[in-house]
Structure 1
């Protein structure tokens, strides 16, 4: 699961659609959701985690996108799926990995918090020292070349308010007038998180962002400032793994996904080996030619930790008709956190927190998970569609989505601890994005429960999209998505 507000990336190109016909005959009895859930055992799931752990150990301790550890992970997953009779593709996409070594800003004897905008050119490790020149605060600050009429910004660092035009336009115009750097002032309280110039090719001068309060303090102080944004941007490629059953309607595809990459700092066994292993074992138990009404398409995404790049590349590669053939998307990212929560994406926004409800049909998906967990002794809570995992590109296109989640860097409440066990007032996963995200620190009991929920939901929707927990089909689907 990617870190909220991480600086990353753009996709330069991507690939393919697994769009198979449903001419093959089933090679198994009709799928039963409860039986499929029972077949996905802790032992089967852990077996895949052992393989992913070994891959990381053999490849500098991680499985990050663009590394040999990630490539070996792709090969492992693809081989398992091919052996079970799936049609498998590994489409490649290009991505830009933006890395920040140092972010620093000093005025006089005071240090300010500054965030590099993604794809900002580098100042180098020593930074740049220059006079600070505020741009006019008009209705379109720094968005018109005339904003700098009569203002000498040659060799200066321009302080400009956020708003109206893209960050890229602000820094380009300042650069054209000779500025050496740009600091963008947030238009709301808090730091400038997640800002981007959009593409490596548009970056002209080092560009960072500061909070509204710090912007005011910098302007009041005036004089020279030293800005250090030591950054690099590297282009690379990664692959997704896409596998689809040879049976079931390809006009009502049940899509199931988990990101396959780790962060560079560790092997990524909970984040997200657990989601991968549960999804992969569900595919193994389902088989490549099951007796289902709806085709099931499994996806293992690359470069999620760099900004949902693999899933974004895939969804953007599809035509509108191809996206409409996807009935729903199920996402699984972290299922065995050490201090585990039991969380289902809040499809109906009943918690009234954050980003609001998912697309029409997401509420039914949430109920499918919560009812299954409830019947197995677990009272799940909701969790917001906060944009931190690969459902993001799907809900942007109105595709109903859902999934279960055991928590990342948020804190377990005393009430949750009383319901589920574990330690209150401690984060769900203290090993998140670290070298200790290993199999040893996976909560196997939570993983087993969540993996069963994965398989159950796949079985439910592979059998039917109808019923009180169903999702729109046919003309209702087109109408629902047109309204998004």
Structure 2
């Protein structure tokens, strides 16, 4: 499956010496009888999970973040490897090279009141090719906007014609609304009118309010361009004489990241249950909910299962460079031979399981809500059933969350491997109905610190984290002993019905 970690081993060992004490102190010895949901959930304690999160926070405090390609990620790998070794596993580490991107772009209001907008949530750079960079601070001038927006998409023609820039003051930053022509047309018209930079924002109809990332041939464009949400555009329009800083500064090179794996000592190697969580944070943030929460809960589950004699082989995974585009899980699946893919009964994914304004979301494996934008492999509904039963048995509410492929289960479902998992919410706003069911605050993001420096050890709902740690343990131990609902295999070497034949869908 993976190669033993050799390249860079000495560098990892040097950091491991610093973090290993965190990995081996304070843990109860794993019990070989932790072989039922009741026993394993008793062993997987909130305090055990929090010890791992304290260690990840300490790593971020030292290195600034835990992003792939940076020292904090290497230290996070060392921590997980050390904890697994201490529990009796023989972990493997899979290196892979990736295009490291460091985004230092800025969109700030300088006057009349300072506001710093959030990268990748409120604004981002465009995917124009080539991408012009620069750092401009200037007054903003709106260009032929339609506010409130028209009833239908592409009502706005903002910036589509040179005449839209009549009276535009050279040197200002052009604020342009999405609409009926290509973004590149708008950008070149702004440049021709003397704009020092451009801010695009979405048009404003339902489904056209979030970030949209323009693409296109921008040969000859020399001014920096960013794109923002509809709300950001409206805020800038409503400010009196705003002065804004637009900076586009994006650097790339090739760096190495790592996936970490640990397998159960026991179990049928031809019937593999995988469970994974991404280990990396975003840049400039500790990533404690996203995704220290999934990392820590899965790690504690693995530790407490280390001596259990499972029927299926259980393979735990901690993925690298998820925040760069699911790169670690994608590399693993893409380099896994078809014969090995076919041995994977199912994949469980845990990404953000302790959001401070949480809901209990279960990936919608049967697409009962009708929102899946991707094909769902058969068997995924049966995974959803296990999680639904867990919450129901505890008298807790739960609900479907979109089976979107947005996290590390994406590469698995792309090759028709059944998948499921948990999610407690990111940047979306909690509804009044959800607040009535789960508590918390309606109209506020499930995680207001999503992808931000404030995603620290204090950015957790400990009740949600405790409950979901038990849910993770329950699902893993359930399938470790019986995958028959998913692939008809009930015991080592005994198949009751033909296991699904899988391949990459055409």
TM-score, length basis structure 1: 0.70
Contact 1:348 1:357 in 2 (8 A): no
**Aligned to 1:440, what secondary structure does the other structure show?**
coil
Query: 2:259 aligns to what?
Result: 240
**Aligned to 2:484, what secondary structure does the other structure show?**
coil
* 1:117 matches 2:103: no
Measure the CA separation in 1 of the matches of 2:105 and 2:76. 31
Query: 1:413 aligns to what?
Result: 431
Query: CA 1:122 to 1:361, structure 2 compared with 1: closer, same or farther past 3 Å?
Result: same
Residues 130-209 of structure 1: pairs in structure 2 closer than 5 A: 193=212
Residues 200-349 of structure 1: pairs in structure 2 closer than 5 A: 230-287=249-306, 289-349=307-367
Which consecutive unaligned segments of at least 5 residues does structure 2 have? 5-29, 108-122, 137-180, 183-201, 229-245, 490-494
Measure the CA separation in 2 of the matches of 1:91 and 1:443. 32
Query: 2:25 aligns to what?
Result: none
Contact 2:34 2:305 in 1 (8 A): no
**TM-superposed deviation, 1:436:** 1.2
**TM-superposed deviation, 1:87:** 2.2
CA RMSD of aligned residues (A): 3.7
Contact 1:243 1:298 in 2 (8 A): yes
**TM-superposed deviation, 1:359:** 0.8
**TM-superposed deviation, 1:420:** 1.0
Query: 2:415 aligns to what?
Result: 397
**TM-superposed deviation, 1:193:** 4.3
Query: 1:35 aligns to what?
Result: 39
Contact 2:40 2:473 in 1 (8 A): yes
Query: CA 1:205 to 1:321, structure 2 compared with 1: closer, same or farther past 3 Å?
Result: farther
Measure the CA separation in 2 of the matches of 1:209 and 1:392. 28
Residues 372-391 of structure 1: pairs in structure 2 closer than 5 A: 372-391=390-409
**TM-superposed deviation, 1:290:** 1.9
Query: 2:445 aligns to what?
Result: 427
Query: 1:16 aligns to what?
Result: 2
Measure the CA separation in 2 of the matches of 1:240 and 1:461. 23
Contact 1:65 1:303 in 2 (8 A): yes
**TM-superposed deviation, 1:482:** 6.9
Which consecutive unaligned segments of at least 5 residues does structure 1 have? 1-14, 19-25, 105-112, 128-160, 163-185, 212-226
Query: 1:68 aligns to what?
Result: 71
**TM-superposed deviation, 1:17:** 6.4
**TM-superposed deviation, 1:366:** 0.6
Contact 1:30 1:291 in 2 (8 A): no
Contact 1:296 1:462 in 2 (8 A): yes
**Aligned to 1:45, what secondary structure does the other structure show?**
helix
Measure the CA separation in 2 of the matches of 1:248 and 1:99. 42
Measure the CA separation in 2 of the matches of 1:255 and 1:95. 24
**TM-superposed deviation, 1:451:** 0.5
* 1:78 matches 2:81: yes
Query: CA 1:472 to 1:312, structure 2 compared with 1: closer, same or farther past 3 Å?
Result: farther
**TM-superposed deviation, 1:438:** 1.1
Residues 464-479 of structure 1: pairs in structure 2 closer than 5 A: 464-467=482-485, 470-471=486-487, 473=489, 476-479=498-501
Query: CA 1:479 to 1:415, structure 2 compared with 1: closer, same or farther past 3 Å?
Result: same
Query: 1:98 aligns to what?
Result: 101
Query: CA 1:73 to 1:230, structure 2 compared with 1: closer, same or farther past 3 Å?
Result: closer
Query: 2:92 aligns to what?
Result: 89
**Aligned to 1:363, what secondary structure does the other structure show?**
helix
Query: CA 1:482 to 1:75, structure 2 compared with 1: closer, same or farther past 3 Å?
Result: closer
**Aligned to 2:464, what secondary structure does the other structure show?**
helix
Query: CA 1:203 to 1:389, structure 2 compared with 1: closer, same or farther past 3 Å?
Result: farther
Contact 1:411 1:426 in 2 (8 A): yes
**TM-superposed deviation, 1:439:** 1.2
